[in-house]
Amino acid sequence: MKIDAHAHGQHAEMGPAGKRVPPLVPGWKKSDGDPQVLVKEHNRRGIEKALLLDPPEITFELKRMFGDFVLPCPMVDMDQCTPESIEALLDRGAVGIKFIAPMHPYGDDCYLPLYKVIRDRRALAVFHTGYLTHGFFDPGLLLARESWINMFHMRPGELDRINRALPDLKILMAHFGNPWWEEAWTMLKSNNNIYADLSGGTNYQKSMNMWKDMFAPNGILNEKVVSKLCYGCDGSMFHAGVFEYQPFIDFYEALYELLKLPDEIRRKIDRENILMLVDGK
């Protein structure tokens, strides 16, 4: 069984020119029936739980509906929120906080008070790294801002400065830094508390030889780095009849076989790493 470390469950209407527009609402509706029917189907397909990374109103509503299947990790507008608002989300039961689309580099001093709250509460900080799809984060849509985002603010290397300032902050680096994969690899190798997923629409489409060279250069498995991966898909988990994660399950399983990973490392990637990261200890 796997625990998906990067799941979504929101729905957005499409506006002019194909752009997504608010309001965002949970993908599961009362008319869809008993949520536990969907949970059982996910379980049958190999998904035990899911770390949900959506705005708070979506995340906590789906947690209410789906119970223990959901590990709530709400996304915040990091240029609008405060340490107190982070505390409030953790008090509501969030296991971590998702950061994305900053107006300054992730490592900027202005964000350190937010990270310190998460560190002090032994929660998880999830960072979107690398390219960010067009639409949700355009001015005036999902986040309260007037400026366009800069993907360079979300480079994996920005997490290095955070780790130096807060070495005991638990970090999950989403998307393995796409397209800065080598930089992401260095973050895993050099920082004990940084982990990563290979979620998203690009990583699983890259050459398997690239990933083999990444995690087993010259045919020698780097157990330290590969052992810090987490399974994740970045797909919808809460829409009736939608199971977007199968290509990602296939990708991870193919990677395990290509690298000839021992069972203990597979278990870490599939579920043990993310459980450790959200444990709160």
- The tens digit of pLDDT for each residue in 176-191 reads 999 999 999 999 999 9
pLDDT value at 135 more than 80: no
What pLDDT was estimated at residue 26? 84
What pLDDT was estimated at residue 144? 58
pLDDT value at 134 more than 90: no
What pLDDT was estimated at residue 25? 77
Q: Which residues contact 230 (CB under 8 A, 6 or more apart)?
A: 5, 6, 172, 195, 196, 197, 269, 273, 274, 277
Q: Rg of the Cα trace of the chain?
A: 18
* Across 133-153, average pLDDT: 74
Lowest-confidence region among 81-95, 212-226, 233-247: 233-247
What pLDDT was estimated at residue 82? 98
Domain boundaries, given as residue ranges, for the chain: 2-14+26-277
Give the residue from 38, 44, 24 showing the smallest Cα distance to 240.
38
What pLDDT was estimated at residue 23? 55
What pLDDT was estimated at residue 219? 94
CA dihedral 187, 192, 194, 198 (to 10 degrees): 70
Contact present, 47 and 237 (Cβ < 8 Å): yes
Residue 16 CB burial class (10 angstroms; 0-12, 13-18, ≥19): exposed
Q: Tell me which DSSP letter residue 103 carries.
A: S
Distance in angstroms (rounded) separating the CA atoms of residues 159 and 196: 12
Tell me the HSE value of 60 on the side-chain side, using a 13 A CA sphere.
14
Coil vs helix vs strand at 192: coil
Contact present, 190 and 160 (Cβ < 8 Å): yes
Give the residue from 279, 269, 268, 277 showing the smallest Cα distance to 232.
269
**In the chain, pLDDT over 70 holds for what percent of residues?**
91
What pLDDT was estimated at residue 201? 80
pLDDT in tens, 76-117: 999 999 999 999 999 999 999 999 999 999 999 999 999 999
What pLDDT was estimated at residue 242? 86
Lowest-confidence region among 47-51, 75-79, 100-104, 200-204: 200-204
Coil vs helix vs strand at 48: strand
Give strand ranges (E) for the chain.
2-8, 10-14, 20-26, 47-52, 70-72, 96-99, 124-128, 170-174, 194-197, 229-230, 235-236
Q: Tell me which DSSP letter residue 27 carries.
A: S
What pLDDT was estimated at residue 161? 97
Q: Which residues contact 233 (CB under 8 A, 6 or more apart)?
A: 4, 6, 7, 199, 244, 245, 248, 249
pLDDT value at 126 more than 60: yes
Query: What is the third-level CATH fold of 2-14+26-277?
Result: TIM Barrel (3.20.20)
pLDDT value at 19 more than 60: no
pLDDT value at 269 more than 70: yes
* Across 203-223, average pLDDT: 94
- The whole-chain average pLDDT of the chain stands at 91
pLDDT value at 62 more than 60: yes
Coil vs helix vs strand at 129: coil
